[in-house]
Amino acid sequence: MENDRNQLYSAYCDLMLKGADINNASAVLGWDQETYMPPKGAEARGRQLSTLAGLAHEVLTSDKLERLLKELSARTDMTDVQQNNVRLSLDDFEKNKKLPGDFVEELTKQTSECFNAWIEARNKNDFGIFAPSLTKMVGLKRKQAELYGYKAHPYDALADDYEKGITVALLDPIFAGIREQLPPILAKIKAAPQVDDSFFDRHFPKQQQWDFGIEVMKRMGFDFDAGRQDYSEHPFTTSFAPSDVRLTTRVDENNYASMLWSCIHECGHGLYEQGLPGDQYGQPLGQAASLGIHESQSRIWENCIGRGLDFWKFFYPKLQAQFPQQLADITAEAFFKAANKVEPSLVRTEADELTYHFHVMIRYEIEKQLIEGSLEVKDLRNKWNQLYQQYLGVTPPDDKSGVLQDVHWSHGSFGYFPTYTLGSFYAAQFYAQVQKDIPGLLQQVATGDLKEFLQWLREKVHIHGRRYTSEELCERITGQKLDPSFFIRYAVAKYKDVYGI
Amino acid sequence: MENDRNQLYSAYCDLMLKGADINNASAVLGWDQETYMPPKGAEARGRQLSTLAGLAHEVLTSDKLERLLKELSARTDMTDVQQNNVRLSLDDFEKNKKLPGDFVEELTKQTSECFNAWIEARNKNDFGIFAPSLTKMVGLKRKQAELYGYKAHPYDALADDYEKGITVALLDPIFAGIREQLPPILAKIKAAPQVDDSFFDRHFPKQQQWDFGIEVMKRMGFDFDAGRQDYSEHPFTTSFAPSDVRLTTRVDENNYASMLWSCIHECGHGLYEQGLPGDQYGQPLGQAASLGIHESQSRIWENCIGRGLDFWKFFYPKLQAQFPQQLADITAEAFFKAANKVEPSLVRTEADELTYHFHVMIRYEIEKQLIEGSLEVKDLRNKWNQLYQQYLGVTPPDDKSGVLQDVHWSHGSFGYFPTYTLGSFYAAQFYAQVQKDIPGLLQQVATGDLKEFLQWLREKVHIHGRRYTSEELCERITGQKLDPSFFIRYAVAKYKDVYGI
């Protein structure tokens, strides 16, 4: 009986491992595509990624896997780990199965084409180059929503891929809260004496920026024997196994802020990937809980820790030593304030923590409309520019700093953006909790000792993989569901220090 | 009827493309493994490569492909290109089919493990660390020879993977010729006044070595929009499509000779890959003719062109400008002589053109014996050292410069080494021909104009892919079969210039 169970479970594991191997091979090809691949390699790479996607889909929607999952689900003698893996795999299976293999290959091929069109459009600063590819992509995503099926809104079907259970019905009130609660804080900040962050635009040589980033990442606990950092057009984190996690960054020599916190941010993602249980490679318990939780890990490091005064008590003297000329006249406190300057701006990835959520809200509104069909790609640039004017009071001077700034839609990732806001809100709630759980945390941070903090994240979040949903995890860690008021309190406290509001 | 043929042929192409996509994805993973992969990534990478190898094997040995190949082979209405592709695919199919899927996966996994053991053994300078993995590998290769089947010698079955039709019966006389004809030339060189190449050991900074290498490669015609160069432990060339060809190199700041000609060598391989017909991607006519022909392309560039006096007439002033201090006291002629210094030595990849063939002969003798079972891995180091003493008069002081110097056996590549000697011999024969076909060639080379030479290689070799065997290609180009006397005449002429023999 037990033998029988173990045999079944092991047959299931073999299939899952095969699927994971193919998907991780795709991830290697994707990483190379955005870091080292020469331009003429794009077409063949598109083919190769599409073929691999088709193969993974074949394995992960095979009748054999279905049979195994149904047999295993009916059993009552499985271990807790086995039960959870099977339960989650069956969920995935039923969702995957809804997409025909042809569709998945087409989508993957279109993703590669669309990404390359986005690169070209960005280089030539012309949304028109990207629009035809994006139109096809939106068409495919609308089709995907229909194939998945949904109750209330087609967007729900797509967003669920990134954040299990998230819906327009849940997101609309969250973004309504942002529209309501952030403007008064922003108004107070605008009325206060402004912060000077102009020194970030001094000349910071590439190699030294890189070196300092690596030093911070080492101190955060990133294992460089199980990962690395490279350059790419748009910073991202990908993983081929917890023992091989890849981060990327980009450097602007005349805008240091662009790289520094992006490094810390991606490193937060990377630490999560390195902290996932390696013995569950290929199984759901070896995967991250959700994109929202993933983002909570990058943001708790980037914003709560990495933009905190205590963090810079330790790191600022080191930074000054790296850039003695550039930072000679800047105190640690002035640096901390500059790191938290609030100013409505054009580019999401360079936005401050507060106005950031307007950037997300705009994208959320736009992609919801694209998917429901109430907005067409040809009107996207105008819509974008109009919303930026409305919420942030700025208008993009060109497409590169406007509608072409993000890679996500070129990847076909519709429903992804809201996870950034969810991640921020989870991060604020976790950060409140960790300060209770580790009373000496800030003193540790101020001496550059980040080990206990990482250990807390490892135990509370990383090690569980996908065992709990975002909501369950949040309740286990903080005793309550996601509550955006944690973020509001965190923001008010921070801007009190920065702006005296 | 024609429709029917086109449908069949297109179904065959689809399967071949799928197989090629998987194999090229494996090549990306292999490239990353040896260039950027962090050490802890090795285990998962081994799994992933093994899974992909299994999948490619499934596709390329499928009943569906067999059926298509047999139907297409029986037809008389195919185009010449179609006929050739089908004929070669059927050959491959029948060979592939002899290896069970399990065996291929085991071999791929063992290759990955064995490669990592070799890296570790090299770092720790201890053959003992590598021996257990290599023993398993030899066992698998002996099994592979049995699975393939052979008439005269198990080695024939393996060598045929790299050079169609090559056998011990053909190779033994070639290496006997080397044993007979090279020593008298070597003796004359030893008796002549010696060449000074000690300036190569001056300090040549890494970045400048790199930059000069890139300049030479550009001039050779390598398309950097369709390929790139990176660092690795052992230089190699790999390709994911003619539009994405990857070269690697390594730099020793105190031994410039180590990198410079290796760059030119790998670039010769890379130009061949870039010159293969892109519209035949996935089909045999899109592949290189054989490893021997591949090696002829690297060696004709490295040795015939890149170590010729005319080449340095153009490049030496540039090299001096790059390294004004290091080369101030060295004339172009002294440089040319140093580039061709002959001296029995320990390391194959740094050997001169002449004694190089002793290095190959030693490996050939050893691997032949390992495969036939007359030599065991435990006795390999002793055997190696004894043969080096016998043929080259040198004894490795350690394993790193002895038995651990080459990556090939760790990759399971038994039967590969002889293609280096074949390549050299083909190169000498082609070089004699191209000088007849392009009477002004040396004048062109002396002005840095390498375009017509590359064009000749493109038309005579690259564009044909696998349409002709090595021997057929050699006859088409030079009017006769491979004749080692071309190499002997080439060597005598060169060493007359260098040593006045």
Contacts of A243 in chain B (CB under 8 A): 38, 40-41, 43-44
Mean local confidence (pLDDT), B268-273 = 98
Do residues A454 and A357 both lie within one domain?
Answer: yes
Of A101-115, B73-87, B293-307, minimum mean pLDDT range: A101-115
Q: Is the model's pLDDT at A233 over the cut of 90?
A: no
Catalytic, out of B163, B266, B273, B295: B266
Does the beta-carbon distance from A44 to B241 stay under 8 Å? yes
Report if residue B259 sits inside a domain. yes
Q: Is the model's pLDDT at A89 over the cut of 70?
A: yes
Q: How far is B60 from chain A (nearest CA, A)?
A: 14
Do residues B59 and B194 both lie within one domain?
Answer: no
Among the partner residues B21, B24, B37, nearest to A244 by beta-carbon distance: B37
CA angle A475/A477/A479 to nearest 5° reads 45
**pLDDT digit string, tens, across residues B159-176:** 999 999 999 999 999 999
Give me the pLDDT at residue B349, please.
84
Does the beta-carbon distance from A38 to B224 stay under 8 Å? yes
Do residues B381 and B270 both lie within one domain?
Answer: yes
Contacts of A36 in chain B (CB under 8 A): 228, 230
Report if residue B153 sits inside a domain. no
Contacts of B50 in chain A (CB under 8 A): 21
Q: Take residue B325 and report the two structure tokens written for it.
A: 């201090």
Question: Could you identify the residue written with the tokens 């002895």?
Answer: B402
Question: Could you identify the residue written with the tokens 């709630």?
Answer: A429
What integer best gives the mean pLDDT of chain A? 95
Best residue of B26, B31, B36, B231 to probe chain A, by most A CBs closer than 10 Å: B36
Q: Does B52 touch chain A (CB under 8 A)?
A: yes
Contacts of B226 in chain A (CB under 8 A): 38, 40-41
Residue of B nearest to A15 (CA): B51
Mean local confidence (pLDDT), B60-82 = 95
Q: How far is A139 from chain B (nearest CA, A)?
A: 26
Give me the pLDDT at residue B399, please.
97
Does the beta-carbon distance from A225 to B38 stay under 8 Å? yes
Give the single-character DSSP code of B340: T
Does the beta-carbon distance from A240 to B22 stay under 8 Å? no
Q: Does A483 touch chain B (CB under 8 A)?
A: no
Does the beta-carbon distance from B281 to A44 stay under 8 Å? yes
Does the beta-carbon distance from A244 to B45 stay under 8 Å? yes
Q: Residue A2 — pLDDT band, cuts 50, 70, 90?
A: low
Where among A114, A149, A184 does a domain terminate? A149
CA–centroid distance for A466 within its chain: 16
Do residues A96 and A181 both lie within one domain?
Answer: no
By the 8 A CB rule, do A93 and A69 touch?
A: yes
Q: Does B102 touch chain A (CB under 8 A)?
A: no
Q: Residue B1 — pLDDT band, cuts 50, 70, 90?
A: low
Residue of A nearest to B244 (CA): A41
Q: How many C-alpha atoms does A473 have within 13 Å on its Cβ side?
A: 29
Contacts of A52 in chain B (CB under 8 A): 21-22, 25
Q: Is B266 a catalytic residue?
A: yes
Best residue of A37, A59, A60, A243 to probe chain B, by most B CBs closer than 10 Å: A243
**pLDDT digit string, tens, across residues B338-395:** 999 999 999 998 899 999 999 999 999 999 999 999 999 999 999 999 999 999 999 9
ipTM of the complex: 0.91
Q: Does A214 touch chain B (CB under 8 A)?
A: no
Q: How far is A359 from chain B (nearest CA, A)?
A: 35
Q: What's B437's domain CATH number?
A: 1.10.1370.30
Contacts of B38 in chain A (CB under 8 A): 224-228, 243-244
Do residues A247 and A101 both lie within one domain?
Answer: no
Give me the pLDDT at residue A105, please.
83
Q: Give the residue numbers of A annotated as catalytic, written as ranges.
A: 266
Cite the beta strand spans of A322-443 per DSSP E. Answer: none
> Angle, nearest 10°, between helix axes B470-478 and B418-437?
20
Contacts of A26 in chain B (CB under 8 A): 25
Q: Does A101 touch chain B (CB under 8 A)?
A: no
Q: Residue B2 — pLDDT band, cuts 50, 70, 90?
A: low
Does the beta-carbon distance from B51 to A243 stay under 8 Å? no
Percent share of chain B, pLDDT over 70: 99
Report if residue A263 sits inside a domain. yes
Residue of A nearest to B226 (CA): A40
Q: Is the model's pLDDT at B139 over the cut of 70?
A: yes
Do residues A366 and A454 both lie within one domain?
Answer: yes
Mean local confidence (pLDDT), A346-371 = 96
B245: which strand partners? B227, B239
Do residues B413 and B299 both lie within one domain?
Answer: yes
Where among B43, B64, B98 does a domain terminate? B98
What integer best gives the mean pLDDT of chain B? 95
Where among B83, B98, B113 does a domain terminate? B98
Does the beta-carbon distance from B41 to A244 stay under 8 Å? yes
Contacts of A41 in chain B (CB under 8 A): 226, 240-241, 243-244
Do residues A141 and A172 both lie within one domain?
Answer: no
**pLDDT digit string, tens, across residues B93-122:** 999 889 998 898 899 889 989 998 999 999
**pTM, 2 dp:** 0.92
Give me the pLDDT at residue B112, please.
85
Q: Is the model's pLDDT at A155 over the cut of 70?
A: yes
Percent share of chain B, pLDDT over 90: 94
Q: Is the model's pLDDT at B446 over the cut of 70?
A: yes
Q: Does A225 touch chain B (CB under 8 A)?
A: yes
Among the partner residues A18, A31, A226, nearest to B40 by beta-carbon distance: A226
**Which run of H or E residues covers position B227?**
strand B227-231
Which of B393, B397, B391, B344 has the alpha carbon at shortest distance from B366? B391
Do residues B345 and B464 both lie within one domain?
Answer: yes
Report if residue B152 sits inside a domain. no
Mean local confidence (pLDDT), A79-84 = 96
Do residues B90 and B177 both lie within one domain?
Answer: no
Among the partner residues A21, A38, A243, nearest to B227 by beta-carbon distance: A38
Instruction: Report the C-alpha gap between A36 and A33 in whole angstroms.
Output: 6
Residue of B nearest to A48 (CA): B21
By the 8 A CB rule, do B352 and B342 touch?
A: yes
**pLDDT digit string, tens, across residues A439-482:** 999 999 999 999 999 999 999 999 999 999 999 999 999 999 99
Does the beta-carbon distance from B25 to A230 stay under 8 Å? no
The residue range of the domain holding B281 is: 168-499
Q: How many C-alpha atoms does B39 have within 13 Å on its Cβ side?
A: 9
Q: Take residue B494 and report the two structure tokens written for it.
A: 């060169």
A246: which strand partners? A228, A238
Do residues A420 and A483 both lie within one domain?
Answer: yes
Does the beta-carbon distance from A25 to B52 stay under 8 Å? yes
Give me the pLDDT at residue A5, please.
84
Instruction: Report the C-alpha gap between A327 and A317 in whole angstroms.
Output: 10
Report if residue B144 sits inside a domain. no
The interface residues of chain A toward chain B in range 105-144, judged by CB-CB distance below 8 A, are none
Which of A111, A325, A312, A285 has the alpha carbon at shortest distance from A204? A325
Sheet holding B227-231, edge to edge: B227-231, B244-249, B237-241
Do residues B81 and B212 both lie within one domain?
Answer: no
Among the partner residues B17, B21, B47, nearest to A21 by beta-carbon distance: B47
Report if residue B120 sits inside a domain. no
Among the partner residues B25, B55, B243, nearest to A29 by beta-carbon distance: B25
Among the partner residues A38, A223, A243, nearest to B244 by beta-carbon distance: A38
Q: CB contacts < 8 Å between A and B, how many?
A: 109
Q: Is the model's pLDDT at A3 over the cut of 80?
A: no
Give me the pLDDT at residue A101, please.
82
Question: Could you identify the residue written with the tokens 């300092």?
Answer: A212
Q: Is the model's pLDDT at B309 over the cut of 90?
A: yes
SS3 A156: helix
Which of A454, A186, A201 has the alpha carbon at shortest distance from A327? A201
- Split into its structural domains, chain B has a count of 2
Report if residue B377 sits inside a domain. yes
Report if residue A203 sits inside a domain. yes
Q: How far is B34 from chain A (nearest CA, A)?
A: 13
Give the single-character DSSP code of A351: S
Among the partner residues B37, B51, B225, nearest to A40 by beta-carbon distance: B225
Burial (0-12, 13-18, 19+ Cβ within 10 Å), B28: buried
CA angle A230/A235/A239 to nearest 5° reads 65
Q: Residue A242 — pLDDT band, cuts 50, 70, 90?
A: very high
Give me the pLDDT at residue B482, please.
93
